[in-house]
Amino acid sequence: MSIRLRLACIVALTAAALVTAAGFGLTAELRSGIVATLQDSLRNSAARVARDLGGGALPLDRGSGHLSLARDQTVVQVLAPGGQLEYSTEAAGQLGLLSRAELAIARLRPSFLQVTRPSWHNPRIVLAEPVVGGRGEVMLVGASLDEVDHSIALLERGLALGGPLVVLVAGLGGWLIAGRALRPVERLRVAAEALSGSDPASELAVPGTHDELERLAKTLNGLLGRLHGALAEQKAFVAAASHELGTPLAAVRAELEVARMADATDAERRQALEVIASRVDQIVRLTRDLLLLAVGDERATSLHLVAQSIEPLVAESLRGFRSRADALGVALVLDADPGVACAVDAEHFRRVIDNLVANALAHAAGSPVVEVRVRREAESALIEVRDAGPGFPEWFLPRAFDRFSRAEESRPGGRAGAGLGLAIVRTLVEAHGGSVTASNRAEGGAAVLVVLAAHRDRWSEAAAPGPEGARTAAGSDPPGRAGTTGGASSTTDGSARPGAPGIETRRRECVSL
């Protein structure tokens, strides 16, 4: 059922309810008014009968006095104190109209009663009151209710004929008004249906009516803008993903062609297979990253959160970058407050650190060190990855965490990537309920700061989970001692002794937990 038809039905039903209520009200008011008028008439008639009684103008069958009482329908009776009938008109009959109880009340005060007799077509309304100056007699003056019933019947007939007409007119009026009111909405619907999804500039014309319709058009245009933006982002995502997957697939195809050549040597085939394996690993990592971003977009990233110490997880991640850092001549430093703990998914948290460290190493040209700091401030845990390289270009900072976003295709000494590392970091950090920001350091270099909710209690490092327990970034020293790998070491106060590039751990006492 259309809105227009529903509105017309609502108007018609409302009109029917109002007509019905008005009919009952008018009927009750009309009856009350006519009865009141009739009662006034009976009081006047009773006064004239009382004058006739006082002037000796009765017996009543002579037609004398102020009333012509013998042959009309006027009900007049005079009852003796014992209830015997002293006078009565022909219409009143030869039996007293009052019971003993009603007669006793009438001797005390005037009262109106409704009386019926088998010979009467309709009840009579009777005024019973004591005779002034009498010896306890009661006088009755009554009249027929025919006029009341006739008037009520006329009103009901009028309502029966006019009520449906009023309801019909109201429903038709509601139909026309609703159609006129909804016509602009229908125009908006037709215009929206005609919009092209391929035209990002398409939008609805906004009427200058300064009402709900104008606000609706603006809201729909805002929705269209968001949909166009999402569609453009989706197209860009698919295009970029296709490009990123196409490059290693093309390399795989080329190496397969080399391996299939009849004159290829065993060494060439082995080299081709190694390249193919490397490219397949790249494809696997890329598809895994794309799947993670797609799942993250649906807010469905599955996490297994466990409260645990952060330092062992960061140290384990750094151990995986030793060889690469040595090749680049970059020292890895872990500067951690002991006991900093968060509720994290260990695997996904290590992936956050992996991506941040890999990004720092990829753009660490000229940087002697990549440092990971772990601190606690109030109720937050801060994990910051810093380098001393050239930093991020200023134009890149607002879009650092956008997917397929690269500061440059490749910096000197670094490696080109798909531009998904920082996007994955943001997805995983937000899934943990945290935030991440990128900035340039005043003294030079880039910094990426991850903020997570800290665990309430100070963590016991001896019980910290992890595949190697609570070990330092050096990989061999027990908790409470500074350790190094590859020749670098540090003192217990945090001052590092020089040596070959490797991983340096700086342990500090937690300031306030």
Categorize the per-residue pLDDT at 481 as very low, low, confident or very high, splitting at 50, 70 and 90.
very low
Average pLDDT over residues 388-416: 68
Is 70 exceeded by the pLDDT of residue 214? yes
Categorize the per-residue pLDDT at 390 as very low, low, confident or very high, splitting at 50, 70 and 90.
confident
Instruction: For residue 465, give every residue at least 6 positions away whose Cβ sits within 8 Å of its Cβ, in sequence order, or none.
Output: 306, 308, 309, 312, 346
The string of pLDDT tens digits covering residues 284-315 is 877 877 777 766 554 555 788 999 999 999 99
Average pLDDT over residues 167-176: 90
Is 70 exceeded by the pLDDT of residue 368? yes
Is 60 exceeded by the pLDDT of residue 166? yes
Is 50 exceeded by the pLDDT of residue 87? yes
pLDDT of residue 504: 65
pLDDT of residue 275: 84
pLDDT of residue 479: 33
CA distance 350 to 289: 14
Burial class for 14, CB neighbours closer than 10 Å (0-12, 13-18, 19+): middle
Q: What is the DSSP letter of 498?
A: P
CA distance 313 to 307: 12
Q: Please, are residues 503 and 476 in contact by the beta-carbon 8 Å criterion?
A: no
Residue 104's H or E segment, with its range, is helix 100-108
Q: Please, are residues 349 and 309 in contact by the beta-carbon 8 Å criterion?
A: no
Beta bridge partners of 489: 497
Is 50 exceeded by the pLDDT of residue 200? yes
CA distance 41 to 46: 9
Is 50 exceeded by the pLDDT of residue 462? no
Top pLDDT among 429 and 404 is at 429
Q: What is the mean pLDDT of the chain?
A: 77
- Top mean pLDDT of 48-57, 145-154, 397-406, 475-484 is at 145-154
pTM, entire model: 0.50
State the helix-helix crossing angle for 146-194 and 212-260, rounded to 10 degrees.
30
Question: Side chain identity at 64, as an amino acid letter?
Answer: S
Average pLDDT over residues 228-245: 75
Go through the domains of the chain in sequence order and give each one's CATH number: 3-149 (3.30.450.20), 212-297 (1.10.287), 306-507 (3.30.565.10)
Least confident range of 11-15, 235-239, 426-430: 235-239
- Top mean pLDDT of 175-184, 282-291, 424-433, 459-468 is at 424-433
Categorize the per-residue pLDDT at 381 as very low, low, confident or very high, splitting at 50, 70 and 90.
very high
Categorize the per-residue pLDDT at 333 as very low, low, confident or very high, splitting at 50, 70 and 90.
very high
Name the phi and psi angles at 485, rounded to 5: -135, 145
Top pLDDT among 507 and 181 is at 181
The string of pLDDT tens digits covering residues 98-122 is 888 888 888 888 888 888 887 777 7
Top pLDDT among 305 and 71 is at 305
Report residue 199 as tokens: 């035209």
Name the phi and psi angles at 116, rounded to 5: -125, 150
CA distance 413 to 225: 41
pLDDT of residue 458: 60
